[in-house]
Amino acid sequence: MPLLGLGVWLNATPIPACKAAFEAGYRHIDCAIAYGNEVDVGTAVRESGLDRKDLFITSKASPRQGKFPTYELAIKAIDDSLTRLEFDYLDLFLLHEASPTLVETWRALIKARDDGRVKSIGVSNFTPEHLEEIKKAGLEAPSVNQIHLHPWYQERNIVDYCNQHSIVIQAYSPLAHARHLDDVDVQAFAKKYKKDAGQILIRYSLQKGGVKHLKEIKAPGLETPNVNQIELDPWCQQKPIVEYQKKNSIVIEAYSPFTVGEYLDDAYLIALAKKVRLTNLVLLSRLFTLNQKIPFEYNKDAT
């Protein structure tokens, strides 16, 4: 699995981006049923002139798309992805988020892997509690857990669990939506190693999960960064999670839930996420979809 890849979330026309990524040396494209662009990703692969076996393509599906309520529909979701991509197999297929039927749907992914429709299987946005459900069911662990990971959203409990159980960490949004490129620590490391801020953040995510596992980062930049000589271990361990808390409510006004990272550590959101057994990022996304484009207030009484 390549260390670096291109994610095509929120990309309605990914063909030019995928082709540019291939020309820059990228060989991993990460898509999903929810992104609505699997057809274009498949087209970009065929038009690239590259051999399919030299590429690593990931897709994923989520219960909120109605694709994983049963074992049978989980299998169908994989087959539908292959049809849209016009591929014989996928290199990696993920459960996009946990659901009450996660054990049943995980069995379906194992079956698809054993049948050769996917080469490897994993999950995304899973907490240790979700991963423990799979373990308690006597099933093999996911090969990958794809999570939101950068210095201001560290998911330490998930990273620690995955490292202890040999589950590869994949980091999405490693550049933190470019909000912290002027951070004093980031700039200090950039100056020390003569790199730009984005390269420093990519290196952080490469190191965060431990050197025993390959890691994959979907970075929006198309340059293949030279980051191997950067050592950030002290910062990885000491940089605190940025905390944002309000006593009564969270007011969300952004179009995308994934651009409001300052809300992710809110105590009330964390409490509600724990109660409904979702990560706070997924919960925030679900709350947002109830009020698309309309500001709304999440009140502590919701817990």
Active-site residues: which are they?
Answer: 35
Which phi and psi (to 5°) does residue 119 adopt? -85, -30
Which phi and psi (to 5°) does residue 124 adopt? -140, 140
- In the 3-class helix/strand/coil scheme, how is the chain assigned residue by residue? CCCEEEECCCCCCCHHHHHHHHHHCCCEEECCHHHCCHHHHHHHHHHHCCCHHHCEEEEEECHHHCCCCCHHHHHHHHHHHHHHHCCCCECEEEECCCCCCHHHHHHHHHHHHHCCCECCEEEECCCHHHHHHHHHCCCCCCCEEEEECECCECCHHHHHHHHHCCCEEEEECCCHHHCCCCCHHHHHHHHHHCCCHHHHHHHHHHHHCCCCCCCEEECCCCCCCCCCCCCCHHHHHHCCCCCCCCCCEEEECCCCHHHCHHHCCCHHHHHHHHHHCCCHHHHHHHHHHCCCCCCEEEEHHHC
